[in-house]
């Protein structure tokens, strides 16, 4: 916490020094430029031998303005620095005041320049003439407008660290206090509007001042170029730099990297765009998380099928191979085993099932307590589902025997089934229904009493590749519950026997 406070204090110190330097620098530079223009226009000399009074008054106004401006800025900064130094988020009122800092700085500068313009214009009119007062007011007023505009644009740049935190609490929305159009207008005024107005007033009647206007016109051109460059640079930093960061973030999102966050450090439309990009990335992350959870619950293939075809009660009849796994004597096992220990054993069993089935392109369709139904051939079609299912059955049996925690029976059958969504429009489940599934379940019950613990129907082994069929041997004909004719079955030897 102390490190955070120290870090925030340093940022506040830099921001405060930046505001102080901005206030003093802009006032002094603006006053110096205005004084030079007045001298070039000859306005102080036009009031006669009492021009020194005007000069002393101007110097005093500048000194007082620097003092008042510094104290005023410090007061505005104090309200923001309190929560920033202590590293706590601001309240809405504090955030709103922080977002007003650039505008408030412009108000401070504008108020001081307006007061100075009024005092010196009145004094020029008293010591000289009405034309002197108009000339003084025009030159100082244009200088003040330039200074206020630069102060506003620069204050936005200086206040960004504070505004970034404030915008977390009060993101830009609805009616915006600042817009990109506002910045463009201010920049245009600094680069073209004010200098050209000064040129027009200098070069056209009535003449403001008795001196040669050439030097003033050159000076106004230089000021327009310099101020225009500074204003354009500040505008570029306020608009182009955030847009560049947004483009980089969107490129990352387009490449699939949704772990992207853009700092919201602007209270204009750009800030709204930054917020929208963050919401887009967060929404995509949530979709990916939901897709991952959905895939874990129903299987990745089923998840893709649902996203592709939507939530509809649809399906089709296709040839699949069903593999059923069930634990031997599960009732007695649950009676003598603590629940958490039993769950651990079942999870290890199902881990072996999922690994073997996924490796061969199958789908673990559902877990039913201590049993699992696996499907090969739906929803993803397989070139050789029987071979894949038989190989998976042997792998599961060998893995569970090697672990030595549970005993199980495995049944494998193949045939046409309905594969698709079952349920209602509000609750769907992807499943397979058909005789092959029932036959696999019946074979599983009988397999629990077979030494190899696996029974497969004759149709499965007959459809498998010879390399896989070589691992199987005839077991005999069995009477399955619900069937009137015996079913030819096959069983698989252990890994040692196969070797």
pLDDT of residue 1: 37
DSSP lists the bridge partners of residue 411 as: 324, 455
The tokens for 474 are 């005839």
* Per-residue DSSP letter, 212: -
- Measured between alpha carbons, how far is 103 from 107 in angstroms, rounded to an integer? 6
| pLDDT, greater one: 30 or 425 | 425
- Measured between alpha carbons, how far is 360 from 373 in angstroms, rounded to an integer? 15
- Measured between alpha carbons, how far is 149 from 236 in angstroms, rounded to an integer? 15
Note whether 253 and 281 are within 8 A (CB): yes
Note whether 142 and 232 are within 8 A (CB): no
Q: End-to-end distance of the chain based on CA atoms, in angstroms?
A: 65
pLDDT of residue 451: 92
Lowest mean pLDDT among 36-45, 46-55, 171-180: 36-45
Which whole number is the average pLDDT over 146-154?
A: 79
| pLDDT, greater one: 99 or 37 | 99
Per-residue burial over 464-474, b = 16 or more CB atoms within 10 Å of its CB, e = otherwise:
beeebbebbee
- Measured between alpha carbons, how far is 445 from 433 in angstroms, rounded to an integer? 19
Report the predicted TM-score, pTM, of the whole model to 2 decimal places.
Answer: 0.56
Q: What are phi and psi of 100, to 5 degrees?
A: -90, 0
User: Which residues are CB-neighbours of 185 under 8 A, at least 6 positions away?
Assistant: none
What domains does the chain contain, in order, with CATH numbers? 6-255 (no CATH), 311-492 (3.30.70.1230)
Lowest mean pLDDT among 27-31, 52-56, 139-143, 240-244: 27-31
The tokens for 467 are 């390399």
| pLDDT, greater one: 193 or 111 | 111
pLDDT of residue 4: 38
Note whether 470 and 478 are within 8 A (CB): no
Mean pLDDT, the chain, rounded, equals 77
pLDDT confidence band for 111 (50 / 70 / 90): confident
What pLDDT digit, counting tens, does each position of 406-456 carry? Answer: 999 999 999 999 888 777 766 777 888 999 999 999 999 999 999 999 999
- pLDDT tops 90 at residue 16: no
Taking the CA atoms of residue 55, residue 59, residue 65 and residue 67 in that order, the dihedral angle to the nearest 10 degrees is: -160
pLDDT confidence band for 489 (50 / 70 / 90): very high
- Measured between alpha carbons, how far is 248 from 229 in angstroms, rounded to an integer? 26
pLDDT of residue 488: 93
What pLDDT digit, counting tens, does each position of 320-373 carry? Answer: 999 999 999 888 888 888 988 999 999 999 999 999 999 999 988 888 888 999
- Measured between alpha carbons, how far is 127 from 133 in angstroms, rounded to an integer? 9
Give the number of residues written for the chain. 499
pLDDT of residue 189: 76
pLDDT of residue 442: 94
Which whole number is the average pLDDT over 456-465?
A: 94
Q: Which single residue is written with the structure tokens 């206020």?
A: 148
């Amino acid at each position: 916490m102390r490190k955070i406070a120290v870090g925030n204090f340093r940022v506040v110190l830099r921001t405060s020094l930046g505001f102080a330097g901005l206030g003093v620098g802009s006032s002094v530079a603006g006053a110096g430029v205005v004084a030079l223009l007045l001298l070039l226009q000859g306005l102080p000399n036009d009031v006669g031998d009492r021009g020194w009074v005007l000069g002393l008054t101007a110097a005093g106004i500048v000194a007082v303005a620097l003092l008042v401006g510094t104290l005023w800025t410090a007061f505005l900064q104090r309200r923001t620095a309190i929560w920033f130094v202590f590293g706590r988020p601001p309240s809405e009122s504090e955030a709103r005041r922080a977002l007003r800092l650039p505008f408030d700085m412009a108000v401070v500068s504008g108020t001081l320049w307006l007061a100075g313009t009024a005092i010196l214009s009145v004094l020029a009119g008293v010591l000289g003439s009405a034309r002197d007062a108009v000339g003084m007011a025009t030159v100082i007023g244009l200088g003040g407008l330039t200074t206020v505009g630069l102060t506003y644009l620069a204050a936005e740049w200086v206040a960004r660290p504070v505004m970034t935190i404030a915008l977390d609490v009060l993101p830009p929305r609805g009616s915006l206090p600042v817009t990109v159009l506002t910045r463009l207008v201010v920049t245009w005024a600094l680069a073209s509007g004010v200098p050209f107005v000064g040129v027009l007033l200098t070069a056209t009647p009535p003449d403001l001042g008795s001196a040669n206007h050439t030097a003033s016109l050159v000076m106004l051109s230089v000021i327009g170029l310099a101020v225009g460059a500074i204003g354009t640079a500040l505008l570029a930093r306020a608009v182009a730099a955030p847009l560049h960061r947004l483009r980089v973030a969107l490129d990352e999102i387009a490449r699939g990297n949704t772990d992207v966050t853009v700092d919201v450090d602007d209270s204009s439309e750009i800030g709204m765009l930054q917020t929208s990009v963050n919401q887009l990335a967060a929404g995509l992350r949530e979709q990916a998380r939901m897709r991952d959870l959905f895939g874990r619950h129903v299987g990745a293939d089923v998840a893709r099928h649902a996203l592709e075809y939507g939530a509809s009660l649809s399906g089709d009849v296709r040839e699949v191979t069903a593999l059923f796994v069930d634990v031997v004597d599960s009732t007695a096992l649950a009676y003598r085993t603590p629940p958490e220990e039993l769950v651990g054993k079942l999870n290890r069993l199902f881990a072996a099932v999922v690994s073997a089935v996924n490796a061969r392109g199958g789908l673990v369709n559902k877990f039913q307590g201590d049993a699992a139904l696996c499907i090969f051939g739906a929803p993803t079609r397989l070139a050789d589902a029987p071979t894949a299912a038989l190989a998976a059955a042997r792998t599961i049996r060998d893995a569970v025997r090697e672990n030595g925690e549970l005993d199980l029976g495995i049944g494998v059958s193949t045939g046409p089934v309905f594969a698709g969504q079952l349920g209602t429009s509000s609750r769907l489940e992807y499943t397979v229904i058909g005789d092959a599934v029932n036959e696999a379940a019946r074979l599983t019950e009988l397999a629990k009493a077979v030494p190899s613990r696996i029974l497969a129907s004759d149709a499965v082994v007959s459809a498998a590749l010879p390399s896989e069929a070589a691992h199987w041997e005839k077991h005999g004909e069995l009477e399955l519950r619900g069937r009137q004719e015996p079913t030819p079955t096959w069983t698989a030897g252990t890994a040692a026997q196969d070797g």
